[in-house]
Amino acid sequence: MSLGTPDCTPKCRSLEHAEEVIAALTSGSDGRLRTYLSAHCHNAATLRDSYGRTALHLAASLGKRDLLQWLLDSKHADLLVKDKESGWTALHRSIFYGQIHCLMTLIKHGGQLSIQDKEGLSVLDLTMKDRPTHVVFRNTDPTEVYTWGSNTNFSLGHGNQESRHRPEIVDLFSRSGVYVKQVVLCKFHSVFLSQKGQVYTCGHGQGGRLGHGDEQTYLVPRIVDGLLSHQCSQIAAARDHTVVLTEEGYVYTFGLNTHYQLGLSPPLASSQIPKQVSCKALKGRMVIGVAAGRFHTVLWTRDAVYTVGLNGGQLGYLLEPNGEKCVTAPRQVSALHHKYVNIAMAAASHGATVCVTEKGDVYLLVDYQCKKLASKQLNLKKVLVSGGSLDHRVYPQVLHDGGGEKLVILALDEAGRVSNMILKN
Protein backbone atom coordinates (compact mmCIF):
# COMPACT_ATOMS: atom_id res chain seq x y z
CA MET A 1 0.00 0.00 0.00
CA SER A 2 1.42 3.37 -0.97
CA LEU A 3 0.27 6.25 1.23
CA GLY A 4 0.19 9.90 0.23
CA THR A 5 -2.18 12.61 -0.93
CA PRO A 6 -5.00 11.56 -3.30
CA ASP A 7 -4.33 12.65 -6.88
CA CYS A 8 -8.04 12.96 -7.65
CA THR A 9 -11.13 14.97 -6.73
CA PRO A 10 -14.15 14.18 -4.52
CA LYS A 11 -16.03 13.29 -7.72
CA CYS A 12 -13.47 10.70 -8.79
CA ARG A 13 -14.86 7.86 -10.91
CA SER A 14 -11.57 6.18 -11.76
CA LEU A 15 -11.95 2.46 -12.48
CA GLU A 16 -8.23 2.07 -11.80
CA HIS A 17 -8.66 3.55 -8.33
CA ALA A 18 -11.64 1.26 -7.73
CA GLU A 19 -9.67 -1.86 -8.67
CA GLU A 20 -6.80 -0.78 -6.40
CA VAL A 21 -9.18 -0.13 -3.49
CA ILE A 22 -10.88 -3.52 -3.83
CA ALA A 23 -7.53 -5.31 -4.09
CA ALA A 24 -6.16 -3.54 -1.01
CA LEU A 25 -9.11 -4.57 1.14
CA THR A 26 -8.19 -8.25 0.94
CA SER A 27 -5.29 -7.73 3.34
CA GLY A 28 -4.26 -5.43 6.16
CA SER A 29 -5.81 -4.35 9.44
CA ASP A 30 -8.92 -2.21 9.63
CA GLY A 31 -6.98 0.76 10.95
CA ARG A 32 -4.34 0.61 8.23
CA LEU A 33 -7.02 0.20 5.56
CA ARG A 34 -8.81 3.33 6.78
CA THR A 35 -5.59 5.29 6.44
CA TYR A 36 -4.96 3.87 2.97
CA LEU A 37 -8.47 4.62 1.67
CA SER A 38 -8.30 8.19 2.96
CA ALA A 39 -4.92 8.78 1.34
CA HIS A 40 -5.43 6.89 -1.92
CA CYS A 41 -8.71 8.33 -3.24
CA HIS A 42 -11.11 11.09 -2.29
CA ASN A 43 -14.04 8.88 -3.34
CA ALA A 44 -12.86 5.46 -2.11
CA ALA A 45 -16.17 4.62 -0.40
CA THR A 46 -18.27 5.13 -3.51
CA LEU A 47 -16.10 3.79 -6.35
CA ARG A 48 -17.25 0.57 -8.02
CA ASP A 49 -14.99 -1.93 -9.75
CA SER A 50 -15.77 -3.70 -13.02
CA TYR A 51 -18.07 -6.10 -11.13
CA GLY A 52 -19.94 -3.26 -9.45
CA ARG A 53 -18.42 -3.97 -6.04
CA THR A 54 -17.73 -1.20 -3.53
CA ALA A 55 -15.47 -1.08 -0.51
CA LEU A 56 -18.54 -1.76 1.63
CA HIS A 57 -19.22 -4.98 -0.30
CA LEU A 58 -15.70 -6.23 0.43
CA ALA A 59 -15.72 -5.16 4.09
CA ALA A 60 -19.00 -7.05 4.62
CA SER A 61 -17.69 -10.15 2.82
CA LEU A 62 -14.43 -10.25 4.78
CA GLY A 63 -15.95 -9.56 8.20
CA LYS A 64 -14.13 -6.25 8.70
CA ARG A 65 -16.75 -4.71 10.96
CA ASP A 66 -14.70 -1.73 12.20
CA LEU A 67 -13.89 -0.75 8.64
CA LEU A 68 -17.51 -1.26 7.64
CA GLN A 69 -18.65 0.94 10.53
CA TRP A 70 -16.18 3.66 9.43
CA LEU A 71 -17.40 3.52 5.83
CA LEU A 72 -21.00 3.98 6.99
CA ASP A 73 -20.42 6.65 9.64
CA SER A 74 -17.57 8.70 8.22
CA LYS A 75 -17.82 8.12 4.48
CA HIS A 76 -21.62 7.74 4.24
CA ALA A 77 -21.34 4.60 2.12
CA ASP A 78 -24.58 3.48 0.48
CA LEU A 79 -25.50 0.09 1.96
CA LEU A 80 -28.20 -0.55 -0.67
CA VAL A 81 -25.84 -0.49 -3.69
CA LYS A 82 -26.05 -3.75 -5.66
CA ASP A 83 -23.15 -5.37 -7.52
CA LYS A 84 -23.44 -6.09 -11.26
CA GLU A 85 -22.90 -9.83 -11.13
CA SER A 86 -25.70 -10.99 -8.82
CA GLY A 87 -27.45 -7.85 -7.60
CA TRP A 88 -26.17 -8.43 -4.08
CA THR A 89 -25.99 -5.65 -1.52
CA ALA A 90 -23.52 -5.61 1.36
CA LEU A 91 -26.22 -7.35 3.42
CA HIS A 92 -26.42 -10.24 0.94
CA ARG A 93 -22.66 -10.62 1.02
CA SER A 94 -22.40 -10.54 4.81
CA ILE A 95 -24.95 -13.34 5.24
CA PHE A 96 -23.53 -15.44 2.37
CA TYR A 97 -20.04 -15.38 3.89
CA GLY A 98 -21.30 -15.94 7.43
CA GLN A 99 -20.34 -12.49 8.73
CA ILE A 100 -23.30 -12.13 11.09
CA HIS A 101 -21.64 -9.34 13.09
CA CYS A 102 -21.38 -7.26 9.91
CA LEU A 103 -24.99 -8.03 9.02
CA MET A 104 -26.14 -6.74 12.43
CA THR A 105 -24.17 -3.51 11.92
CA LEU A 106 -25.75 -3.00 8.49
CA ILE A 107 -29.25 -3.60 9.90
CA LYS A 108 -28.65 -1.06 12.68
CA HIS A 109 -27.77 1.47 9.98
CA GLY A 110 -31.06 0.90 8.18
CA GLY A 111 -30.26 -2.12 6.00
CA GLN A 112 -33.36 -3.93 4.75
CA LEU A 113 -33.55 -7.73 4.87
CA SER A 114 -36.33 -7.66 2.27
CA ILE A 115 -34.26 -6.13 -0.57
CA GLN A 116 -33.93 -8.63 -3.44
CA ASP A 117 -31.09 -9.61 -5.77
CA LYS A 118 -31.35 -10.41 -9.50
CA GLU A 119 -32.95 -13.78 -8.75
CA GLY A 120 -35.55 -12.21 -6.49
CA LEU A 121 -33.89 -13.55 -3.33
CA SER A 122 -33.94 -11.50 -0.17
CA VAL A 123 -31.19 -11.67 2.44
CA LEU A 124 -33.21 -14.23 4.43
CA ASP A 125 -33.96 -16.25 1.29
CA LEU A 126 -30.23 -16.49 0.66
CA THR A 127 -29.69 -18.20 4.00
CA MET A 128 -32.08 -20.96 2.92
CA LYS A 129 -30.95 -21.36 -0.70
CA ASP A 130 -27.71 -23.21 -0.07
CA ARG A 131 -28.83 -25.47 2.74
CA PRO A 132 -28.41 -29.20 2.00
CA THR A 133 -31.71 -30.38 0.52
CA HIS A 134 -30.89 -34.02 1.20
CA VAL A 135 -30.56 -33.43 4.96
CA VAL A 136 -33.83 -33.64 6.88
CA PHE A 137 -33.81 -32.48 10.50
CA ARG A 138 -35.60 -34.79 12.92
CA ASN A 139 -36.74 -34.06 16.46
CA THR A 140 -34.45 -36.82 17.68
CA ASP A 141 -31.30 -35.20 16.25
CA PRO A 142 -28.88 -33.71 18.82
CA THR A 143 -29.71 -30.07 19.58
CA GLU A 144 -28.15 -27.26 21.55
CA VAL A 145 -29.85 -24.19 23.02
CA TYR A 146 -28.57 -20.65 22.48
CA THR A 147 -30.18 -17.57 24.03
CA TRP A 148 -29.49 -13.85 23.82
CA GLY A 149 -31.06 -10.49 24.68
CA SER A 150 -32.01 -8.80 27.92
CA ASN A 151 -31.52 -11.00 30.99
CA THR A 152 -33.06 -8.69 33.58
CA ASN A 153 -35.42 -11.45 34.71
CA PHE A 154 -32.89 -14.33 34.51
CA SER A 155 -34.83 -15.90 31.65
CA LEU A 156 -31.79 -16.68 29.46
CA GLY A 157 -30.51 -19.46 31.74
CA HIS A 158 -26.84 -18.38 31.81
CA GLY A 159 -26.40 -18.22 35.58
CA ASN A 160 -26.08 -14.44 35.91
CA GLN A 161 -28.02 -11.30 35.08
CA GLU A 162 -25.78 -10.11 32.25
CA SER A 163 -27.55 -9.47 28.95
CA ARG A 164 -26.24 -11.19 25.82
CA HIS A 165 -25.80 -9.26 22.58
CA ARG A 166 -24.95 -12.43 20.66
CA PRO A 167 -26.24 -16.00 20.90
CA GLU A 168 -24.55 -17.97 23.68
CA ILE A 169 -25.02 -21.64 24.49
CA VAL A 170 -26.96 -22.56 27.65
CA ASP A 171 -24.28 -24.51 29.49
CA LEU A 172 -26.58 -26.61 31.66
CA PHE A 173 -27.94 -28.55 28.71
CA SER A 174 -24.64 -28.94 26.86
CA ARG A 175 -22.82 -30.16 29.98
CA SER A 176 -25.61 -32.58 30.92
CA GLY A 177 -26.09 -34.00 27.44
CA VAL A 178 -29.71 -32.84 27.42
CA TYR A 179 -31.17 -32.22 23.96
CA VAL A 180 -34.04 -29.73 23.82
CA LYS A 181 -36.86 -29.83 21.27
CA GLN A 182 -39.04 -26.88 22.35
CA VAL A 183 -38.37 -23.55 24.06
CA VAL A 184 -40.86 -20.92 25.28
CA LEU A 185 -39.53 -17.55 26.49
CA CYS A 186 -41.77 -15.17 28.44
CA LYS A 187 -41.20 -11.88 30.23
CA PHE A 188 -40.39 -13.38 33.62
CA HIS A 189 -39.47 -17.00 32.89
CA SER A 190 -38.47 -19.56 30.29
CA VAL A 191 -39.58 -23.15 29.77
CA PHE A 192 -37.58 -25.89 28.02
CA LEU A 193 -38.79 -29.33 26.88
CA SER A 194 -36.17 -32.02 26.34
CA GLN A 195 -36.36 -34.74 23.72
CA LYS A 196 -36.86 -37.23 26.55
CA GLY A 197 -39.99 -35.39 27.70
CA GLN A 198 -38.57 -33.59 30.73
CA VAL A 199 -39.50 -29.97 31.52
CA TYR A 200 -37.01 -27.36 32.77
CA THR A 201 -37.75 -23.80 33.90
CA CYS A 202 -35.79 -20.74 35.03
CA GLY A 203 -36.45 -17.09 35.87
CA HIS A 204 -38.58 -15.36 38.50
CA GLY A 205 -40.74 -17.84 40.43
CA GLN A 206 -43.36 -15.49 41.92
CA GLY A 207 -46.77 -17.12 41.84
CA GLY A 208 -45.24 -20.54 41.22
CA ARG A 209 -44.86 -20.09 37.45
CA LEU A 210 -41.67 -22.24 37.52
CA GLY A 211 -43.40 -25.24 39.11
CA HIS A 212 -40.66 -25.97 41.65
CA GLY A 213 -42.87 -25.79 44.74
CA ASP A 214 -41.64 -22.35 45.77
CA GLU A 215 -41.41 -18.77 44.52
CA GLN A 216 -37.64 -18.52 44.32
CA THR A 217 -35.68 -17.16 41.38
CA TYR A 218 -33.65 -19.73 39.46
CA LEU A 219 -30.78 -18.44 37.32
CA VAL A 220 -30.25 -21.65 35.35
CA PRO A 221 -32.87 -24.12 34.09
CA ARG A 222 -33.99 -26.63 36.68
CA ILE A 223 -36.01 -29.78 36.02
CA VAL A 224 -39.63 -29.70 37.22
CA ASP A 225 -39.75 -32.64 39.63
CA GLY A 226 -43.54 -32.77 39.67
CA LEU A 227 -43.56 -33.94 36.05
CA LEU A 228 -40.82 -36.58 36.25
CA SER A 229 -43.34 -39.43 36.23
CA HIS A 230 -44.69 -38.26 32.86
CA GLN A 231 -43.23 -37.98 29.40
CA CYS A 232 -44.20 -34.51 28.28
CA SER A 233 -44.86 -33.73 24.62
CA GLN A 234 -45.60 -30.01 24.49
CA ILE A 235 -45.20 -26.84 26.55
CA ALA A 236 -46.84 -23.42 26.52
CA ALA A 237 -46.45 -20.41 28.77
CA ALA A 238 -47.46 -16.80 29.26
CA ARG A 239 -46.41 -14.09 31.69
CA ASP A 240 -47.79 -15.68 34.86
CA HIS A 241 -48.41 -19.37 34.16
CA THR A 242 -47.13 -22.49 32.43
CA VAL A 243 -49.03 -25.27 30.63
CA VAL A 244 -47.68 -28.77 29.91
CA LEU A 245 -49.16 -31.58 27.79
CA THR A 246 -48.09 -35.19 28.35
CA GLU A 247 -47.87 -38.02 25.84
CA GLU A 248 -50.98 -39.56 27.42
CA GLY A 249 -52.99 -36.40 26.69
CA TYR A 250 -53.04 -35.08 30.25
CA VAL A 251 -52.72 -31.33 30.82
CA TYR A 252 -50.86 -29.85 33.80
CA THR A 253 -50.75 -26.17 34.76
CA PHE A 254 -48.94 -24.12 37.41
CA GLY A 255 -48.45 -20.46 38.33
CA LEU A 256 -50.85 -17.63 39.12
CA ASN A 257 -54.56 -18.28 38.67
CA THR A 258 -55.76 -14.68 38.99
CA HIS A 259 -57.92 -14.99 35.86
CA TYR A 260 -58.68 -18.73 36.26
CA GLN A 261 -56.31 -19.44 33.39
CA LEU A 262 -55.03 -22.61 35.08
CA GLY A 263 -58.40 -24.31 34.53
CA LEU A 264 -58.23 -26.06 37.92
CA SER A 265 -61.25 -27.28 39.82
CA PRO A 266 -61.77 -26.18 42.52
CA PRO A 267 -60.08 -22.88 41.57
CA LEU A 268 -56.93 -21.89 43.48
CA ALA A 269 -55.28 -18.49 43.79
CA SER A 270 -52.08 -20.09 42.46
CA SER A 271 -50.27 -23.39 42.19
CA GLN A 272 -46.54 -23.76 42.81
CA ILE A 273 -46.47 -27.32 41.51
CA PRO A 274 -47.99 -28.91 38.38
CA LYS A 275 -51.65 -29.83 38.83
CA GLN A 276 -53.75 -31.77 36.36
CA VAL A 277 -56.59 -30.02 34.56
CA SER A 278 -59.75 -32.08 34.88
CA CYS A 279 -62.14 -31.16 32.09
CA LYS A 280 -65.59 -32.75 32.02
CA ALA A 281 -66.33 -30.97 28.76
CA LEU A 282 -63.73 -33.10 27.00
CA LYS A 283 -66.00 -36.16 27.29
CA GLY A 284 -63.14 -38.57 26.91
CA ARG A 285 -61.45 -36.79 24.00
CA MET A 286 -57.65 -36.78 24.06
CA VAL A 287 -55.94 -33.39 24.18
CA ILE A 288 -53.32 -33.06 21.41
CA GLY A 289 -52.20 -29.46 21.86
CA VAL A 290 -51.96 -26.52 24.27
CA ALA A 291 -51.39 -22.76 23.97
CA ALA A 292 -51.30 -19.90 26.48
CA GLY A 293 -52.00 -16.17 26.57
CA ARG A 294 -51.56 -13.91 29.56
CA PHE A 295 -55.22 -14.18 30.55
CA HIS A 296 -56.27 -17.53 29.12
CA THR A 297 -55.31 -21.08 28.16
CA VAL A 298 -56.25 -23.04 25.03
CA LEU A 299 -56.55 -26.82 24.72
CA TRP A 300 -57.54 -28.74 21.64
CA THR A 301 -58.40 -32.25 20.61
CA ARG A 302 -58.61 -33.52 17.06
CA ASP A 303 -62.15 -32.19 16.63
CA ALA A 304 -62.66 -29.50 19.27
CA VAL A 305 -61.08 -26.37 20.83
CA TYR A 306 -61.45 -25.45 24.51
CA THR A 307 -60.60 -22.15 26.21
CA VAL A 308 -60.52 -21.01 29.84
CA GLY A 309 -59.71 -17.79 31.70
CA LEU A 310 -60.65 -14.10 31.54
CA ASN A 311 -63.13 -13.53 28.73
CA GLY A 312 -62.17 -10.29 27.05
CA GLY A 313 -63.32 -11.49 23.64
CA GLN A 314 -60.48 -13.92 22.89
CA LEU A 315 -62.14 -17.12 24.19
CA GLY A 316 -64.50 -17.59 21.26
CA TYR A 317 -67.84 -17.07 22.99
CA LEU A 318 -69.96 -14.26 24.41
CA LEU A 319 -69.90 -12.98 27.97
CA GLU A 320 -71.94 -14.87 30.53
CA PRO A 321 -75.52 -13.56 30.83
CA ASN A 322 -75.05 -13.43 34.61
CA GLY A 323 -72.10 -11.06 34.22
CA GLU A 324 -69.34 -13.55 35.05
CA LYS A 325 -66.11 -12.25 33.52
CA CYS A 326 -64.09 -15.45 33.76
CA VAL A 327 -64.57 -19.01 32.56
CA THR A 328 -63.29 -21.21 35.38
CA ALA A 329 -63.17 -24.56 33.57
CA PRO A 330 -62.23 -25.30 29.92
CA ARG A 331 -65.25 -24.81 27.67
CA GLN A 332 -65.66 -25.91 24.08
CA VAL A 333 -65.75 -23.22 21.38
CA SER A 334 -69.03 -24.08 19.69
CA ALA A 335 -68.26 -21.95 16.61
CA LEU A 336 -65.51 -24.43 15.74
CA HIS A 337 -67.61 -27.53 16.37
CA HIS A 338 -68.48 -28.85 12.93
CA LYS A 339 -68.74 -32.38 11.61
CA TYR A 340 -65.86 -32.00 9.17
CA VAL A 341 -63.61 -29.67 11.20
CA ASN A 342 -60.41 -31.30 12.47
CA ILE A 343 -58.00 -29.10 14.42
CA ALA A 344 -54.34 -29.12 13.35
CA MET A 345 -52.86 -26.38 15.56
CA ALA A 346 -53.62 -23.26 17.56
CA ALA A 347 -51.79 -20.28 19.04
CA ALA A 348 -52.64 -17.61 21.60
CA SER A 349 -51.58 -14.09 22.51
CA HIS A 350 -52.89 -11.96 25.37
CA GLY A 351 -55.72 -10.65 23.19
CA ALA A 352 -56.46 -13.29 20.56
CA THR A 353 -56.57 -16.99 19.68
CA VAL A 354 -55.84 -18.49 16.25
CA CYS A 355 -56.90 -21.99 15.16
CA VAL A 356 -55.92 -23.89 12.01
CA THR A 357 -57.80 -26.93 10.69
CA GLU A 358 -56.38 -29.89 8.80
CA LYS A 359 -58.08 -28.55 5.65
CA GLY A 360 -56.09 -25.33 5.98
CA ASP A 361 -58.87 -23.08 7.26
CA VAL A 362 -57.58 -20.38 9.64
CA TYR A 363 -59.90 -18.94 12.31
CA LEU A 364 -59.37 -16.00 14.66
CA LEU A 365 -61.09 -15.74 18.05
CA VAL A 366 -61.34 -12.05 18.93
CA ASP A 367 -64.01 -9.48 19.89
CA TYR A 368 -66.33 -12.30 21.11
CA GLN A 369 -66.40 -13.70 17.56
CA CYS A 370 -64.92 -16.51 15.50
CA LYS A 371 -63.68 -15.00 12.24
CA LYS A 372 -62.41 -16.99 9.27
CA LEU A 373 -59.15 -15.53 7.97
CA ALA A 374 -58.13 -17.90 5.19
CA SER A 375 -58.92 -21.19 3.46
CA LYS A 376 -56.89 -24.06 2.02
CA GLN A 377 -53.60 -23.13 3.67
CA LEU A 378 -52.59 -26.77 3.42
CA ASN A 379 -48.83 -26.52 3.94
CA LEU A 380 -48.75 -24.63 7.22
CA LYS A 381 -46.27 -25.99 9.75
CA LYS A 382 -46.66 -23.42 12.52
CA VAL A 383 -48.72 -20.34 13.32
CA LEU A 384 -48.03 -17.54 15.82
CA VAL A 385 -50.15 -14.62 16.98
CA SER A 386 -49.17 -11.44 18.81
CA GLY A 387 -51.14 -8.49 20.17
CA GLY A 388 -54.87 -8.01 19.84
CA SER A 389 -57.35 -6.05 21.91
CA LEU A 390 -59.51 -7.11 24.84
CA ASP A 391 -62.74 -5.63 26.13
CA HIS A 392 -61.36 -3.30 28.81
CA ARG A 393 -64.73 -3.20 30.56
CA VAL A 394 -64.34 -6.73 31.91
CA TYR A 395 -61.24 -5.82 33.92
CA PRO A 396 -60.64 -2.03 33.86
CA GLN A 397 -57.96 -2.28 36.58
CA VAL A 398 -55.68 -4.13 34.13
CA LEU A 399 -57.13 -3.58 30.66
CA HIS A 400 -57.11 -0.01 29.44
CA ASP A 401 -59.24 1.52 26.70
CA GLY A 402 -56.28 2.13 24.40
CA GLY A 403 -57.25 0.00 21.41
CA GLY A 404 -54.86 -2.79 22.39
CA GLU A 405 -51.74 -3.82 20.52
CA LYS A 406 -51.51 -4.35 16.79
CA LEU A 407 -52.66 -7.84 15.89
CA VAL A 408 -49.99 -9.76 13.98
CA ILE A 409 -50.41 -13.35 12.73
CA LEU A 410 -47.43 -15.15 11.22
CA ALA A 411 -47.56 -18.51 9.46
CA LEU A 412 -44.63 -20.79 8.60
CA ASP A 413 -45.08 -23.23 5.72
CA GLU A 414 -43.23 -26.46 4.96
CA ALA A 415 -40.96 -24.69 2.48
CA GLY A 416 -39.65 -22.44 5.25
CA ARG A 417 -41.49 -19.32 4.10
CA VAL A 418 -43.04 -16.94 6.64
CA SER A 419 -46.17 -15.00 5.70
CA ASN A 420 -48.20 -12.36 7.51
CA MET A 421 -51.94 -13.00 7.57
CA ILE A 422 -54.05 -9.85 7.39
CA LEU A 423 -57.60 -9.77 8.75
CA LYS A 424 -60.05 -8.71 6.06
CA ASN A 425 -63.30 -7.21 7.33
Q: Which of 313, 309, 354 is closest to 329 using CA atoms?
A: 309
Question: Distance between CA 352 and CA 407 in Å, rounded?
Answer: 8
* 130-162 residues labelled b (16+ CB within 10 A) or e (exposed): eeeeeeeeeeeeeeebebeeebebbbbbbeeee
pLDDT (0 to 100) of residue 424: 45
| 384 and 374 Cβ atoms separated by less than 8 Å | no
Q: Which of 30, 32, 42 is closest to 69 using CA atoms?
A: 30
Give bridge partners of residue 243 from the DSSP assignment. 236, 253
15-129: CATH superfamily: Ankyrin repeat-containing domain (1.25.40.20)
Tell me if the domain spanning 146-421 has CATH number 2.130.10.30. Answer: yes
Phi, psi of 254 (to 5 degrees): -160, 155
pLDDT (0 to 100) of residue 382: 93
Q: How far apart are the first and last CA of the chain?
A: 64
DSSP code at position 364: E
CA distance readout (Å), 411 to 112, 293, 314, 343, 416:
21, 18, 19, 16, 10
SS3 helix, strand, coil % of the chain, rounded to 5?
20, 30, 50
Is the omega angle on the peptide bond into residue 132 within 30 degrees of 0, that is, cis? no
Give bridge partners of residue 7 from the DSSP assignment. none
What residue spans define the domains of the chain? Answer: 15-129, 146-421
| 116 and 122 Cβ atoms separated by less than 8 Å | yes
Q: Tell me the pairing of strands 251-256 and 241-246.
A: antiparallel
pLDDT (0 to 100) of residue 425: 40
| 211 and 197 Cβ atoms separated by less than 8 Å | no
**Which positions of the chain have pLDDT values less than 70?**
1-5, 129-137, 139, 401-404, 422-425
Tell me which amino acid residue 152 is: T
CA distance readout (Å), 306 to 96, 165, 295, 328, 332:
45, 39, 14, 12, 4
At 36 the three-state DSSP class reads helix
Question: Distance between CA 345 and CA 354 in Å, rounded?
Answer: 8
